[in-house]
Amino acid sequence: MRLLPATLLCLAPLLWAAPKPADWVPVRWPWSDAKSLELLAGTPVNCLLLKSPTREFLAAAAERGVVTLTVVGPGESVPETKGDGIVLEGDFPSLPQVSDLVIQLTPRYKMKLGSDAPVIGTYQGVWPGISADDGGAKHSLPTSSAWIDTNTGFLRAVRAFGTAPVWLANRPPEKTVVSTARYLQVIAEAEISGARWVIAFDDDLAARLAKREEGALGAWKRMTALVGYYESHPEWREMRENGRLAVVQDPAKGGLLSGGILDMIAVKHTPVRPVAGSRLSADALAGATMAVNIEGDALTPEQKQVLRDFTRSGGMLLNGPPGWKDPTPPAGQITLDKSDLERLNDMWRDVNSLIGRRNMGVRLYNVASMLSNYLGSADGKSAVVHLLNYSDYPVESVTLHYVANFSRATLITPEGKQQKLEVYKTEEGWGVDIDRVVVCATIKLEQ
């Protein structure tokens, strides 16, 4: 213990140079040997979440300019050797008193939405991917279209409430060897939603990485390259959902659940803009042409007036069924239960009918296995459309139709491609064709 002050003093200059929490690129680090830090060489990872770190390890990490955070769960005491801060992960009946920098990874229902916390995060997330049903088989009807389990709706709802960086810290499913493609999907899913996934290895990958197996190193390289792709475009994180369909919802209720109305709309590839009910304003609806008010009774008279003004200025409004209460997620639950889902389906049918085949900003074709996000810059001069493919196969011949007057389009991919796309006129605006998407791609639109 006598060495601790001296160690901290030595580290102080490095800590001053450490990145801000908003720039932390986090990984759950399962190793305690300093040599494991070699894996970080050439990667954008700069923040490690650790259990019981040693002083030697913390010093080595600091030397590399890597932020170290010690994870503490409910019932665990805060260790003396803890690096640059503490991560309180779990459902704490009461928070321990600590003076260090604290990041909280809470259950979704306890997330401090809209707070000025350095990072808001949760350990609860669905493991994204194309949903299997029917005993593991995919849907078996001519009409079947894939349902994608996703956190994107939830992440958008959280972002609608504030500007704090959002961490999604769910872990891979237990006793499962996760393919590289699935890792890339979970990373990209958070990134295209303006959040970060706290990288966590399944046991198999962790063991193979520890042995520096070639295949595992290849997977790690691809994962970090993908993270680097998004980190090299910080401007994308600043952009906001740009769709012409606004969904007014209390993020602390239905918005915190996966599989809700936002995800239903996302699977239909309709660009949607979540608006927190408590932040409903004319500005929040600027540019929107349609709005869905999920729980009408929850709005104040002033907020209701905003919606009335919206319709008077030509906007279309769909109200939730009378008496509908957006479900408040109980502790531990992150998806809708069956009865809520059935009730929500009724509303979804109305929303679907309202949207029809309107282009709500962008319209994508041949993207059944994909999700997308349409984000715009504050000045309206540029926008991006993120594409994420959840299938095990590349998707070829994707078409994007958009309505805003962007004359230039560039396809950007994590593989390093920057290709100018031919922009052509369509009935409703403009269009571009994308030859192939492996896991993800971004179309940058500019005036």
Binding site for another protein (CB under 8 A): 139-146, 357, 365-366, 368-369, 391-399, 424, 433
Question: In this structure, what is the dihedral angle of CA atoms 55, 61, 66, 72, given to the nearest 10 degrees?
Answer: -40
Residue closer to another protein (CB basis): 3 or 141: 141
Dihedral of alpha carbons 124, 129, 134, 136, sign: negative
- The 10 Å Cβ neighbour count of residue 43 is 17
Could you tell me the CA-to-CA distances from 4 to 20, 76, 185 in Å, in that order? Answer: 24, 22, 41
Of 100 and 396, nearer to another protein (C-beta) is 396
| 342/392 with CB nearer another protein | 392
Smallest distance, another protein to C-beta of residue 398, A: 8
CB closer to another protein out of 32 and 397? 397
Min. distance of Cβ 362 from another protein in angstroms?
13
Q: Tokens 């350095």 belong to which residue? A: 118
Instruction: Write out the two tokens for 11.
Output: 């580290």
The owner of tokens 């350990």 is 123
**Alpha helices (runs of H) in 18-112, residue ranges in sequence order:** 55-63
Contact indicator for 383, 423 with CB cutoff of 8 Å: no
- Which residues are 440's β-sheet partners? 388
Distances (CA, A) of 38 to 7, 41, 91, 210, 274: 22, 6, 33, 11, 41
Nearer to another protein, 163 or 365 (CB): 365
> In whole angstroms, what is the distance from residue 2 CA to residue 264 CA?
57
Closest approach of another protein to the CB of residue 405, in Å: 20
User: Which residues, 6+ apart, have CB-to-CB distance to 333 below 8 Å?
Assistant: 257
Residue with smaller CB distance to another protein, 201 or 390: 390
Least gap, CB of 141 to another protein (angstroms): 5
Give me the amino acid identity at 331. A
Tokens of residue 402, six digits: 């958009």
Whether the CB-CB separation of 197 and 168 falls below 8 Å is answered with yes
**Least distance in angstroms from the C-beta of 126 to another protein:** 21
Q: Are 186 and 389 in contact (CB under 8 A)?
A: no
* Nearest distance, CB of residue 291 and another protein, angstroms: 23
Looking at beta carbons only, is 138 or 212 nearer to another protein? Answer: 138
Shortest separation between residue 348's beta carbon and another protein, angstroms: 14
CB-based contact 64:78 (threshold 8 Å): no
- Cα–Cα dist 432/420, whole Å: 10
Q: Smaller CB distance to another protein: residue 317 or 438?
A: 438
- Using the minimum distance from each CB to another protein, give the nearer residue, 317 or 368: 368
Closest approach of another protein to the CB of residue 144, in Å: 5
Q: How far is the CB of 401 from another protein (least distance, A)?
A: 8
